[in-house]
Amino acid sequence: MDEKTIKYLQSLAEKYNTKDFIKDDPISFCHRFKDKKDIEIAGFIASWLAYGKREKFLQVLDKIYLDFNSLSPYQYIINKCFLKYKDNKDNLYRFYVKDDFYNLCSHLYNIYSLKDNITMEDVLIKKINKQREDITFIDVLNGLISLFIGVKGVPQDTSSACKRLCMFLRWLVRDDGIVDLGLWHIIDKKDLIIPLDTHVFQIATRLNIINKKTSNFHTAQEITNKMKEVFDTDPTKADFALFGFGVNE
C-alpha cells in the first residue's frame, strides 16, 4: 500500500475513533452498563440487531432497554423476564419477530446459568479448551457460533463475512479505551478480523485495497491483512476509517 493511502487511512481512523462516535453506533448500548456480564449481554443483543439504518435499530435497542424495567441485562436474563415473548410472532425489527428475541435470550440464559458469576468469555475459554496463547480468532468465532446454534440472525458457520460477530469481538477485545471496551483477553486485538459490511467493502474497493467481487469471510481476512500495513498491532482500528468514511462522507 502506498504511503499516501496509509496516511489517509490513519487520519480517518483518528477522525472517527472518538467518544463522539459512540452515541450513533450500536456500541452505545454497551456503554450504558458497567458490569462485564451486562456489557457482554448488551453487546450481543446490539450486534444481533445491527442491520440496516443505525437510527432504526437504535430505536429498537431503546425499547429493549425500557423492557429491562430497571433490571440489569444479566438480571433480565437470569430471571427469565424474556419468557413473555415465547411464540410471539409480532414484529420486533425487520425480519425478526419477538419469538426470535426469546430464542436469543434463552441461549444467553443457558450461558449465564451454568455457574454463578460466570461470564461469556469464561464459557468460551472452557469450550475452546486450549491454552490462551494458542487460541485463534477462528477458535473464538466458532466458539461463539456454537453457543448460539439455532438463533435466527447468528451465522451457523464462517461461509458468510460474520460481520456482526466480528463487530461484537472488536467491541469486547480492542482496548484503547475510546470507543471499544477491552474487557476480553481471550485473544489479542492484533488477531481480530475487520467487520465487513457494505461500507467497508465499497471503500476498500475504491481505495484499491482489495480486488474482489464477493463480500465474505475470506475478503474480510484479506482486508484485515492489508490493514496491518497501516495499524500493525491493531488492524481493526481501520474499521473506523473505512466504515466512518463510508457512512459519513
Going by C-beta distance under 8 Å and a sequence separation of 6 or more, which residues neighbour residue 184? 121, 169, 172, 173
Q: How many CA atoms lie within 13 A of 227 on its CB side?
A: 30
- What is the rounded distance in angstroms from the CA atom of residue 214 to the CA atom of residue 208? 15
Going by C-beta distance under 8 Å and a sequence separation of 6 or more, which residues neighbour residue 216? 159, 160, 161, 196
Which grid coordinates belong to 183?
A: 474487557
- Average pLDDT of the chain? 95
Helices of type H across the chain: 3-16, 36-49, 54-68, 73-78, 98-112, 120-128, 137-147, 163-173, 198-206, 217-227, 238-248
More confident residue, 156 or 246: 156
N-to-C CA span, the chain: 22
pLDDT of 249 higher than 80: no
Tens digit of each residue's pLDDT (9 = 90 or more) over 169-211: 999 999 999 999 999 999 999 999 999 988 899 889 988 888 8
Contact between residue 225 and residue 238 where contact means Cβ atoms under 8 Å apart: no
Residue of 171, 152, 150, 165 lying closest to 220 (CA atoms): 165
Contact between residue 137 and residue 117 where contact means Cβ atoms under 8 Å apart: no
Going by C-beta distance under 8 Å and a sequence separation of 6 or more, which residues neighbour residue 27? 43, 46, 171, 179, 180, 181
> Cα-Cα-Cα-Cα dihedral of 185, 40, 138, 203, to 10°?
-100
Going by C-beta distance under 8 Å and a sequence separation of 6 or more, which residues neighbour residue 131? none
Contact between residue 134 and residue 125 where contact means Cβ atoms under 8 Å apart: no
Of the listed ranges 12-21, 162-171, 203-212, the least confidently predicted one is 203-212
Tens digit of each residue's pLDDT (9 = 90 or more) over 101-130: 999 999 999 999 999 999 999 999 999 999
